[in-house]
Amino acid sequence: MRSRRLFAITRKEVLQLRRDRRSLIFAFVLPLFLLIIFGYAISWDVRNIAMVVLDYDRSQASRAVIDAFRSSGYFTVVQEVSKPADVDRVIDRGTATLALTIPPGFARRLRSGTAQLQAIADGSDANTATIALGYAEVILLNYGVRLIDVGPTLQSARAGRSAGPTFPLTTQSRVWYNEELRSRNMIVPGLVAVIMAIIAAILTSLTIAREWDRGTMEQLASTPVTPFEVVIGKLIPYAAIGLIDIAAITVTGVLLFRVPFRGSVVLLFAMSLLFLIGALGVGIFISAVARTQLVATQAAMVVTYLPSFLLSGFIYTIDNMPPVLRFVTYLVPARYFLVVTRGIFLKGIGLGALGVQAMLMIAFAVIGLSLSMWRFRKVIE
């Protein structure tokens, strides 16, 4: 490999990029646009769940239960109705997701030791319904614990005795790395992996195809440059663009979305560079196979966007997938880069904890480069 020929290929690609304003806009504006759109649009936080209440008892105890739902921060009582038909109407119209029914005599049964409530969830949105019922169970459990604790205390005070501990087990929960359980703290680092997988492959998917469309492939093939020099020369400008995009996405994520960044910037860029090399190599491979810019772009979207978005663990938990799809996820490089970005952003872990992912990123870079050089050699032969 001669540095002069490599520099000439790189300079040629930079000049083409400067003349192609659409590619520059695509390279620098689209990643931030996708980050902002996905960052605000995708959320797994379920709050302000609309709830309708049917309170037959209308006692102090039933009002206390309703207030416990209101003060939880997860439920909003949008309507209080007087008959079951109104509950059906509200649920059918989608006005409320959860209906709470408090039967007559609730306070009396509660004083005797056992009382029942009915919670009805709209199962047309199974995920929200499951979360809403889980929240409701926790709220009622905490309400019951308070009753266990307060009841004997009041009796002891009336009898003139000091109140001791009344509940034998207490639990303190602590969440590491994402203390507020904000889904945005998971989404934004994941978007770094997903967006760069898409952008890198699509940008370079046009390189060889552009040569065919402009009729310059024959001239390039007739020069003494080697396939390695062509691939590396075309890859260098896009790798630089990718690193700039990652820096912009990181800064935007920290400043705009308030995502913590606890790890090493150097490690993030080093791992990102390995991932970019592999993704750019796959893009060049697609470009050499497709030969037309339209087909290359469409192929790059299918090969990168769908697997990175659906099979990397970004949206859906891999452990919940069918066995066949779980096996397929091992072939998706974004799966491993997702672990890297979330680990560096949220956990602040180093290379010791990311050694396996680092080796896989190196393997991905080697495979991407090998595929692109092999296909380009086949093209010029």
Query: What is the Cα–Cα distance from 377 to 359, expressed in whole angstroms?
Result: 27
Query: What is the Cα–Cα distance from 16 to 38, expressed in whole angstroms?
Result: 30
pLDDT at 215: 65
Query: For 117-168, how does the pLDDT look when each residue is reduced to its tens digit (9 = 90+)?
Result: 899 999 888 878 888 888 898 888 888 777 765 554 444 444 444 444 444 5
Q: In the structure encoding, which two tokens stand for residue 49, read together?
A: 């769940």
Query: What is the Cα–Cα distance from 364 to 200, expressed in whole angstroms?
Result: 14
Query: What is the Cα–Cα distance from 299 to 289, expressed in whole angstroms?
Result: 10
Lowest pLDDT segment from 104-118, 252-266, 338-352: 104-118
Query: For 179-189, how does the pLDDT look when each residue is reduced to its tens digit (9 = 90+)?
Result: 777 888 888 99
pLDDT at 166: 46
226-238 b/e with 16+ CB inside 10 Å = b?
bbebbbbbbbbbb
pTM comes to: 0.77
CA nearest to 246, candidates 41, 35, 39, 37: 35
pLDDT at 8: 81
pLDDT at 306: 83
Higher pLDDT, 227 or 233: 233
Query: For 28-87, how does the pLDDT look when each residue is reduced to its tens digit (9 = 90+)?
Result: 888 888 899 888 888 777 788 999 999 999 999 899 999 999 998 889 999 999 898 999
Average pLDDT over residues 99-120: 88
